[in-house]
A and B are shown apart, each in its own frame.
Chain A
Amino acid sequence: MNDTEYLLDVRGLKVHFPIEKGILLKRRAGYVRAVDGVDFRIRPGEALGLVGESGCGKSTTAMAVAQLQTPTAGQVLLDGRDLAALSPQELRAARKDFQIVFQDPYSSLDPRQKAADIIAEPLRIFAKRGIITMDDAEIQSTALSLMDRCGLSASFATRYPHEFSGGQRQRIGIARALALGPRLVIADEPVSALDVSIQSQILNLLKDLQKDFNLTFLFIAHDLAVIEYFCTKIAVMYLGRIVETADSATIASNPMHPYTKALLSAAPLPDPAKERSRRRIILKGDVPSPSVEHRGCPFRERCPEAMDVCALSAPVLKPVGEGHEVSCFLYGEG
């Protein structure tokens, strides 16, 4: 195959949703720029975390990478092949290599299927289409061994989703995502709906699976601590763009973008002494609407360090250190 260094290479990804006005004579009133020019790369076996607040476009980015949302512009290269340019048939076959774990383990499982059938379904579909060759017995035993691998006892195979707890349901969702032996797993807030004690179980399971199956992860979360624990690299998103990217340790120890600093400082720490002594950066206001076209830096209105230049043009991502990129005028002219 291709001798690319990166398993996933996303270039200039944009997803714009048109806003239409009027009932009969629809006219375009503008666009919601959910994802507005995003670039990132992930090496095989690495985990990249996309972090940001609601509406920053992290989930839309994930859906566009997974081709569940057609990108407005840009390329999504999986092992050198542009997924956005594939024909429907080719894309269907290619889906074997990238699978998704969803946030809500309640709504992402078919309530009328038994656990083992849910996990076996992707195998059945791909076998039927002739993309993989497996008979029914093989499919069944693969599903059972995946259940076991994901910490679900074989006696649960004939149970329905409502008979499981949230954590167990997420295990089913993970087993299903692994059924086809993907190389890339896109995990969209996989632990946000879970309680603390269950969250660490699932994070540890994902870590083990990553090692065992040599998986590459695109991991979406709003919780920086979760991302730092799971991912080797982090990209911070704000209003449809990546504002800072670096490896996890660098983001934690040397955040440079004012938004990354604010995110880190806003996250409550389970340590009363630290909480009392830390000076918190409290951002003003709310995230502005992505439907308004921004002149200048999109973070400018909330930025505690905004300067005149920030209103004039938008900064671009520029390297500031080894593998560390920031999009901010504080670190040189755009």
Chain B
Amino acid sequence: MNEDSILRVEGLSTQFSTDHGLVKAVDGVSFELRRGETLGIVGESGSGKSVTNLSVLRLIQSPPGIIASGSVLFQGKDLLAASEEEVRVLRGRNISMIFQDPLTSLNPVLKVSTQIAEAIQLHHGLGRKEAKAKAVAMMKLIGIPDAERRADDYPHQFSGGMRQRVMIAMALSCDPDVLIADEPTTALDVTIQAQILELIKSMSARNKTSVILITHDLGVVAGMCDTVCVMYAGRIVERAPVDDLFEKPAHPYTQGLLDSIPRADRSGPERLYSIPGSPPNLIDMPDACPFAPRCARVMDICTKAAPPETALDEEGKRTVRCWLHSMESTNE
């Protein structure tokens, strides 16, 4: 197994100041992405999964946002301490990103080949003609039928699935080391989602690209990822290799999520489990476990202090933030 890490995020906190108070959208997040690995970041809306990755690329709009603390080490270099110019060079070339909604992330008045070629021209210093040829080659590779002709089409002439392919072509055109995919298939139908996930999988295997896949869908995680981080209220509450997470989830939230998914592959219980209540408001969060008000196994201590990150194995591959486990390890 290849152990060298390509991206290491430590103690990342991103905050937004609003009229109602300070929102700690990301609160002390740490994770590591190894070369060739696909890391899943899963959570519900507002859990901070997108903000985490926008912070990694320094794409947080400021004000109102501010990266309050932490470091993002890409091949040993701290992106949060780097100059804007240095980060700009890395973006697109070394780390690139695809977004949920391909229609709003593409420029409606530029031909798709021009948009793909733009990044190639910029990062590889190629001329317009060569860049366009490379863009068309990329479109072919990504499975856009009739690529030569479609190169001169505009985004609105493409279907949702094809637009997402264009986004992927653009993101992969400079052979990045890291691809961040933020809900890449959420806006797509299932049969198209299957096509796009397959494409991301084969492209990342081909180029040994490391992938951070942000999603709310545990099914997508199960099929795509090697390692998973579960986020809740701006924190990573559990991190585990994919099989372990689904086999024996350690955090009550992970357990609750898994139990509340209706499953087509087996006849489930008459009644689904459901986690009571709704996610907390992130404004002025108290120093306590954010999941405590909804947790079926809540204890006194949970409302008094936030649980620390506890390692569940020796290599530190599995960690959880829950007093149930911190208690066990201190008692032993």
Contacts and interface: CB of A to CB of B under 8 A. Distances in A.
Contacts of A207: 271
B44 A197 contact: yes
A249 B217 CA distance: 24
Interface residues of B, number: 45
Given A225-B262, A266-B190, A200 B220 contact: no
Contacts of B258: 270
Nearest to A270: B218
Contacts of A264: 264
A131 B78 CA distance: 70
B243 A272 contact: yes
Contacts of B268: 229
Contacts of A91: none
Given A229-B272, A268-B222, A280-B194, 19 more contacts: A53-B192, A168-B278, A195-B45, A195-B216, A196-B260, A197-B275, A200-B273, A200-B274, A207-B271, A222-B189, A229-B262, A268-B197, A268-B223, A269-B263, A270-B221, A270-B246, A282-B194, A286-B159, A286-B161
Contacts of A196: 44, 216, 218, 257, 260-261
A252 interface: yes
Contacts of A263: 190-191
B320 interface: no
A41 B133 CA distance: 56
Interface residues of A, number: 46
A214 interface: no
A203 interface: yes
5 contacts: A195-B216, A195-B279, A196-B218, A222-B190, A271-B246
Contacts of A165: 278
A305 to B, nearest CB: 15
B259 to A, nearest CB: 8
B2 interface: no
A199 B190 contact: no
Nearest 3 A-B pairs (CB), nearest first? A268-B219, A200-B260, A229-B262
A108 interface: no
A269 B194 contact: no
Interface in B238-280: 242-243, 246, 256-258, 260-265, 267-268, 271-276, 278-279
A274 interface: yes
B195 interface: yes
Interface of B: 44-45, 145, 159, 161-162, 189-195, 197-198, 216-223, 242-243, 246, 256-258, 260-265, 267-268, 271-276, 278-279
Contacts of A197: 44, 256-257, 260, 274-275, 278-279
B169 to A, nearest CB: 17
Contacts of A167: 278
A197 B261 CA distance: 8
A168 B257 CA distance: 19
Given A168-B278, A228-B262, A272 B44 contact: no
Nearest to A259: B191
Contact of A198 (B194, B273, B278): B278
A224 interface: yes
Nearest to B219: A268
A286 B162 contact: yes
A54 interface: yes
A226 B243 contact: no
Contacts of B264: 224-225, 228, 252, 264, 267, 269
A36 to B, nearest CB: 19
Contact of A204 (B198, B242, B272): B272
Interface string A270-307: 11111110001011011100000000000000000000
A264 B261 CA distance: 16
A201 interface: yes
A262 interface: yes
A167 B190 CA distance: 24
B146 to A, nearest CB: 12
Contacts of B279: 195, 197
Contact of A283 (B195, B223, B260): B195
